[in-house]
Structure 1
Amino acid sequence: MRSFVISWCLLRAVATAGNPHVDFAFGVLAERRGDDARAAELYESARVADPTAGPLVRRGVSRLLDEGNRSAAVAMFRDYAAARGDDPSVQLEYADFLVNQGRGDALAEKLAIETLDRVLASHPGSPPVVQRLASLVPDRAAELAAGLADDDPAAAMLFASLSRGLHDGDDVEARAEVDRRFLKAVDAHPRDAALARRASEHFRTTKRTDEAIHVLRTHADAAPWSLDLRARLGVLLFTAGRDDEGRGELEKLLVIAPEHKLAHQALAKHFRKAGDDEMAMRHSAELLRIRGGDPDEFVKLADEFLAAEQPAKARILLEKAAFDHPDDFSILRALAIATRRDPATRSRAPRLFREAESLLAEGETPDPAFLSESAECLIEAGQSKAAEERLRSAIRAMPADAKQETATALRRLAGLWESGNRNAAAAKALRQRADALDPP
């Protein structure tokens, strides 16, 4: 056993010597064991053996910065960048490092600018380089922007950003150049979603909706899978008053993506504006089902379904709401009412009324509608006395302007007395009062 251990140690020593991969692996193992000092030694050994390995250099730089040795960290990164002079991504990383670590340091900023200029010389018009240089040397922004390619997505988007800082918003000539670059880039790269979004927003925010629609249409035709921008196209068509096109675009989208939230939201708003309450409620319900919502949103839409005599749709909507908001009285109250009005689920209503009422604070009284609806459950269960008390409470709590609701409760209470051959005179008086409030 002893000889095996000695042999293993010798093999490890031989394998580790000058092998950055093995050093790195043992460094990870040491770090996992909590031996940070040994891990640092192994990582540094690996870096020395392979000084152009980015992950090893970054670990070394990070360690030096943690130790407060900023000058050594800068030197290590400088040597790494010099060894990888033909890699623009490394040069950009080095420039960013100089800027971040040398805030307020003129020399560090100068080195960063020189590094970026060297990259720009070998990669003219490179958007990442231009963006960094324009930030470091604002006086060169116009010259740098002019050097950007006019058919590249990243270049077109960067040109638009730089132009906003260089020109007034009402500079027609500057805006025309942004227009030209955006349109040329979209024609060259119609599938680029980021470009299409930025270009369409540029035209929309400058009050040229038709141009914004053209950009999104070009993109949607080239990339029909770009669902969010197809939905955005539908919204812009509505904005432009092209309702039939907008509705058609969104309805086609929902065929392949039936749970697209923006499409349902836009269609609900469109149908509401057009006076088609049925379709507006349908899309509003789908939207709430997909993304959820506040209790007030659910209750408001459920009340619309109940007013339209569609209790089943109200109930289904509120069952989703109760799952999301199990302790909200307004949700359970509305669910109990909808469940009672839906013939298919009426038998479940009494339990829901009890659950809802249990959420009320001590001493708090249910509202008149709740009392009236729960009274109906009691009547159906043969508990006429308890129902009578609920109807009395509901009538007393009715607001003065709820004449029709008050009359309905009065007639229901009168009917209870009449069916039990009780209080005939009082029942007659209740009916007279009801007729005065809501003439038959």
Structure 2
Amino acid sequence: MADSTSKPVSSRLGDMFRALRHYNYRLFFIGQGISLIGTWMQQLAMSWLVYRLTDSVLLLGAVNFAAQMPSFLLGPVAGVISDRFSRHKVLLVTQALSMLQAGTLAALVLTDHVTIPAIMVLSALLGVINAFDISARQSFVVEMVENREDMSNAIALNSSMFNGARLVGPFIAGIVIAAVGEGLCFLFNAISYLAVIASLLAMRLKPFVRPTVEHRVWESLREGVSYAFGFPPIRALLLVIAMLSLFGMPFSVLMPVFARDVLGGTANTLGLIMGASGVGALTGAMYLASRKTVVGLGKIIVGAAFLFGLGLVLFSFARNLPLAMFCIFLAGLGMMLQMASCNTVLQTIVDEDKRGRVMSFYSMAFMGMAPFGSILASWVAEHVGVTYTLLGCGILCALSIIPFAIQLPVLQRMVRPIYRRLGILPEIATGLRAASVLTTPPRQD
């Protein structure tokens, strides 16, 4: 048997980007990639603007709380809508509303009429939009990539796109803010939504067939909760994501404080730190894109959680920019490996008719727990300082994965029948290929 390393480089690269062979996914990848650069520019500009206006870590956390809390409250309802209505049309609506939100914010900043209450209201509005957008977008991947073998690659490429933008967006935003202020970052984000809207309109999709509704909304919610939290592997993965979001994600909220007060830097410093985190996350996403199977991701989830925690601990002690960038690179690498691996396994094992609801719980765990972590970390940083807060976040991230690591062998046995049914396990896939060879009639030359 030939070793996989003997394959030509072009072939290995083709495997890494194989999901792009699907026309609809390719359109989405390009449009969303452009839009996400604007999203990351807005995120960095928002953090810098709030901290510049208030000098308050607590208010910085409060704005993030307002932006993310709706995902926690509306996540289950968004999941039901994603399972009952056209995800394509839901995304068109959410992207158009997001463009309107960014345009309004740009107008307020550029005309010097921006206030903290206005920022809070607009952040909460974006949170409501994102609650529906995330669930529909996560579930829409299945419609764009019909070949299930390419599903894990598509999810990994999504993560690559997200973190490629995370690398470029903050870098550009840092330069723009230093030169002309935050307003143009919000304006570029508003314009960038045109790219993803155009890609959605250009797609060639099968006509949407609305599923027969057998239950009311609350019954569908109860069914989704029973399914997601009644199956231990799904429940465990959602808990891992929740802990990552609660203890780990607040580090991004504290970055403006660390960049300005600990490193003595400017918006450019913040852009470089966020960019280094993006490089680490992009490296992790590209590694996952190069994998051909979901088998073995459980161990990667465990190792990545420890790496994420270690990166945050080391980052908390950094006192110069190069060391801080290296440490946050490690944290970004661990965060992406953990988050994308959980997403991939969830998308693989979930039943299709419950996908929207399960992915809404995923967005609740990821986006919904983040506001609690942000407000808590901001409060702690106000009292003990940003350094000790980041140190505590890193330690808690590493400790929180221990229960999952202990349960991992049992969880692997539970998902094995699903992998067998899908032909994912190596021995099963090999057996199927061998059977197809044995049952194929010889060619008559």
TM-score (norm 1): 0.15
Bigger relative contact order, structure 1 or 2 (CA pairs below 8 A, ≥6 apart): 2
User: TM-score when scaled to structure 2?
Assistant: 0.15
Q: Which has the larger radius of gyration?
A: 1
- Whichever structure has more helix as a proportion of its residues is 2
